[in-house]
Amino acid sequence: MAMLSFPGMIDVHVHLREPGATQKEDIFTGTRAALAGGVIAVLDMPNNVPPTIDRPSLEEKKRLFALKAVTDYGIFLGYVGGDVQPLLDLADQVVGLKLYIDETFGDLRMGTKNLEHVFEVWPGPGPIAVHAESSSIPVVLELAERYKQRLHVCHVPHPDDLLLIEAARQRGVEVTCEVTPHHLFLSLEDAQRLGPYGYMKPPLLPPAEVALFWERLSLIDVIASDHAPHTKAEKESPHPPPGVPGLETTLPLLLYAVDEGRLSWERVLELIWENPLRIFRLIPPKDSEVQVILEEPYKLTQEGYYTRCGWSPFGGKWALGRVHSVRLHGQTVWQEGQLLVDPGYGRPLRHGS
């Protein structure tokens, strides 16, 4: 029986929904789903209710993670416009600043109002991470260049955006980017079949454009799930919210792609471990290991996941590998589907130099 061992995944883009929408997920169920998927640390987005945009909301989120997380974690700060003082005061407590330039789930859309000023003043050490549709990407690249900011483009909407990002890199702009598993393993054809369960921002693309993502894989720094759970009732309502869960499916989808020869395992490790640590300047969690049993390829199921929302858009897709155990901070935290530590075992990620 083949067993694969590696330090674990760092998923830099998750929405664990707490506080505010724990019918979809909470910090405990979300980080437990992470362990089930071989993820030992998550970076949580700020589009909560209330949003994570000031000291009280950040303190509350830190408190909840300290109580409930079973993986390590980092927290993004959000911004909706107005006073930039909270950004200056809180920058060193967060993994980055998340800006929603374009429309998505939640109330954090800022558009381009005050955008330049934010690029001017953000002190780091984390990068500015942006939710930007293709039309906004040139704008943020230009601002990153002008103000010498480190920019991270979340869930790149289109493979042509990778070319713009690469051109900026060649000019010396410090820009990195992530692509989601759903943009690599699902297409518009799946979206038609899945209806609301295949609806997310940015939307899925035609198969030919998905193929271009794969051709341009060398331009991608990170694969991150954008784990964005919503309940089935919400998805089946007249106005379904955008977003799909993904914490438990990224690793088996990637392992199958490795098995097919679409990319190497060394490259996967860069995308899910080395580059996340480098981009967010994080010290790796101590003494971690994920063990995966490889055996035969299988098809992912539509239901039966640890995420509270309970469903996956990847049902029917080929996968390889099942997480056997996870060690974190020297202790086995997950084995054969059993959680072996209490809520609160996870620690905040720390910034390195």
The binding site for ligand NCD (CB under 6 A) comprises: 15, 47, 104-106, 131, 200-201, 226, 228, 241-243
Task: Give the residue with the Cβ less far from Zn ion, 198 or 321.
Answer: 198
Which two tokens mark 338? 């059993």
Do residues 109 and 130 touch, judged by C-beta distance below 8 A? no
CB of 170 to Zn ion, least distance (A): 28
Asked if 156 and 177 touch (Cβ cutoff 8 Å), the reply is yes
Q: Of 254-273, which residues contact Zn ion (CB under 5 A)? A: none
Whichever of 15 and 324 has its CB closer to ligand NCD, that residue is: 15
Residue pair 45/13 in contact by the 8 Å Cβ criterion: yes
**Residue 178 sits in the site that holds Zn ion (CB under 5 A):** no
Q: Provide the minimum distance between the beta carbon of 101 and Zn ion in the complex, in angstroms, as a whole number.
A: 13
To ligand NCD, the closest distance from the beta carbon of 159 in angstroms equals 18
Nearer to ligand NCD, 234 or 274 (CB): 234
Q: What one-character-per-residue DSSP string does 162-213 give?
A: HHHHHHHHHTT--EEEEE-HHHHH--HHHHHHHGGGG--SSPP--HHHHHHH
Contact partner, 324, from Zn ion, ligand NCD, none, Cβ < 5-8 Å per class: none
* Minimum CB–partner distance for residue 47 and ligand NCD (Å): 5
Residue 37's binding partner among ligand NCD, Zn ion, none (Cβ under 5 to 8 angstroms by kind) is none
Nearer to Zn ion, 32 or 201 (CB): 201
* Residue closest to 100 by CA, chosen among 153, 173, 44, 161: 153
Give the range of 202-210, 222-230, 291-299, 313-321 binding Zn ion by CB under 5 A: 222-230
The span of 50-58, 90-98, 221-229, 262-270 binding Zn ion (CB under 5 A) equals: 221-229
Provide the β-strand partners of residue 293. 3, 322
Residue 114 burial by Cβ neighbours in a 10 Å radius (0-12, 13-18, 19+): middle
Residue 148's closest CA among 181, 112, 126, 175? 175
Please state, in angstroms and rounded to a whole number, the distance separating the CA atoms of residues 78 and 275. 22
Minimum Å gap between C-beta 226 and ligand NCD is 5
Q: Which is nearer to Zn ion, 51 or 321 (CB)?
A: 51
d(CA 225, CA 244): 9
User: Quick one: 229 or 321, whose CB is closer to ligand NCD?
Assistant: 229
Smallest gap, in angstroms, from Cβ of residue 34 to Zn ion? 15
Q: Quick one: which of 204, 209, 179, 180 has its CA closest to 193?
A: 204
CB 196 within 8 A of CB 239: no
Minimum distance between the CB of residue 72 and Zn ion, rounded to whole angstroms? 19
Strand pairing report for 289-293 and 322-328: antiparallel
Nearer to ligand NCD, 33 or 320 (CB): 33
Residue nearest to ligand NCD (CB): 243
Binding residue (CB under 5 A) for Zn ion from 64, 226, 277, 300:
226
Instruction: By CB under 5 A, name the binding residues for Zn ion.
Output: 226
